[in-house]
Amino acid sequence: MSSETMLSSTTAESKGIVIIGAGLAGWHVIDAIRAKDKEVAITLITTDSGDRYHKPMLTMAISQNKQASDLVRATGAAAAEAAQVTLIANTQVTDIDAAAQTVQLISALRSDPVYTNYATISYDKLVLAMGAHPIFPPSLPEDLVWHVNHIERFGQLQEKLAAGSQHVAIVGAGMVGTEIAEDLLKAGHEVTLIDLNDAPLSQMLPPKATARIAAAVKSQGINFLGGYLVTDVVRISEGNEEESTIGKLQVSYEPFASNAQPTESKQSGVLIVDHVIASTGLTVDSTLPSAAGVDFNRRTGIEVDAPTLRTTTDNIYAIGDCMSINGVACRYVAPLRAQAATIADDVLGLEHSGYEHKPPMIRLKNKAISVMVTGVTQAAGNWQVATETDDELVMNLLDDSGEVSATVTIKAPPMASA
């Protein structure tokens, strides 16, 4: 079995198990299948090289001066050879014919349509592990704004930042944006963190909790602009601007109006920065789910049957960032091994007890403050304080029956509480 295949204009025979996506989810499925069956044919299709790396490391690697190559645990070719997998790299899946059980491929490296290679391959079982993509609001043009959701883009940004201390604006103060902000600050860069809400993590935690996070972020020296909407990002090229700003980015922002956030005390403004990073959420591309005929929501992902991780289309499974269970997106790393083990058993026809989804414990990786969350959280709801001191805050989210459905624990680090 070959470890890497060049795309050719042919239709291949059945490929057994075909996996689309070579991120953590896709490779976990391969590991789980190979633990049970060393012989079954597996084909892995990916738009990149398929290298194995741990994506959560991207939000803390800049301050550690790690290059993209430092994060790669194994190249895609080497990993595929070790697992006896047929790797079709740098290739995009353009269509899925669920009735014929085939997928249509096209080279992702094509420079001219005349020389484009196409292929169609068959599958017995298909696993969708293609992940999710960053959301770029209209005010954040993709050609000017970075994201840190893939090792290739991370590597390109890291090269730019290696030139010395620079000013970086991060739009979106969720977990990823808040972690990147601290990482960049530790690397010696000036950081401005901008969010629609008055505090970081406001989409998932109550104001009493997020206020502590905001205070910790600001205490580090991060400029936090809470309650603001970025309206425009443009490259400064000419005009009456100072020569030192030519080539930099101008970020315009204005107060974000909501019922809970009066804007009278806030003023519109402009930032001149070297780079802008978008951390404004994820979406799942609709092309393949629509082609496969699976139940799907762009925001939460492909709906699956929780015990088996089967989609609503026969012989097609989903896992990772592109998947949702009971309408809730599953975008954390911790459950992937259990999910992959379930898919492996199911596609191999082995008896299994079924996947039991449990929301993972979530930890914010910032050193300025310890934030740990269990359960499924939401900012709104019946949050009750369990413990409140200067150094610690514990709050529980109660459901309609008064049972604890989520808990957040926030602690000041030892140095901060001294």
Q: What is the pLDDT of residue 133?
A: 92
C-alpha pair distances (Å), 172 with each of 71, 240, 280, 286, 325: 25, 30, 5, 24, 25
Q: What is the pLDDT of residue 233?
A: 97
- CB-based contacts of 120, cutoff 8 Å, min separation 6: 11, 12, 102, 103, 104, 105
11-132+284-347 and 151-278 agree in CATH topology: yes
pLDDT tens digits, one per residue of 126-181: 999 999 999 999 999 999 999 988 898 999 999 999 889 999 999 999 999 999 99
Under CATH, what is the fold of the domain 11-132+284-347?
FAD/NAD(P)-binding domain (3.50.50)
Q: What's the average model confidence in pLDDT over 17-28?
A: 97
Cα 28 to Cα 43: distance, rounded to the nearest angstrom: 14
Which is it for strands 370-375 and 362-363: parallel, antiparallel or unpaired?
antiparallel
What single string gives the DSSP state of each residue in 38-87?
SSS-EEEE-SS---EE-GGGGGGSTTTT--HHHHEEE-HHHHHHHHT-EE
Q: What is the pLDDT of residue 112?
A: 53
Quote the strand ranges of 162-321, DSSP E: 167-171, 190-195, 223-226, 228-235, 249-255, 269-273, 275-278, 282-283, 296-297, 301-303, 316-318
Between 355 and 261, the more confident residue is 355
Between 289 and 332, the more confident residue is 289
Residue spans per domain, the chain:
11-132+284-347, 151-278, 362-417
Tell whether domain 362-417 is in CATH 3.30.390. Answer: yes
Cβ 171 vs Cβ 140: under 8 Å: yes
Cα 253 to Cα 247: distance, rounded to the nearest angstrom: 19
pLDDT at 381 over 80: yes
The pair of three-digit structure tokens given for residue 150, joined into one six-digit string: 């893939």
- The radius of gyration of the chain from alpha carbons, rounded to an integer in Å, stands at 23
In the CATH scheme, what is the homologous superfamily, with its name and number, of domain 151-278? FAD/NAD(P)-binding domain (3.50.50.60)
pLDDT tens digits, one per residue of 93-120: 999 999 999 999 998 776 555 555 678 9
Which pLDDT band holds residue 368 (cuts at 50, 70, 90)? very high
Which pLDDT band holds residue 417 (cuts at 50, 70, 90)? very low
Counting residues of the chain whose pLDDT is more than 90, the rounded percentage is 78
Q: Is the pTM higher than 0.85?
A: yes
pLDDT at 2 over 90: no
Cα 195 to Cα 24: distance, rounded to the nearest angstrom: 29
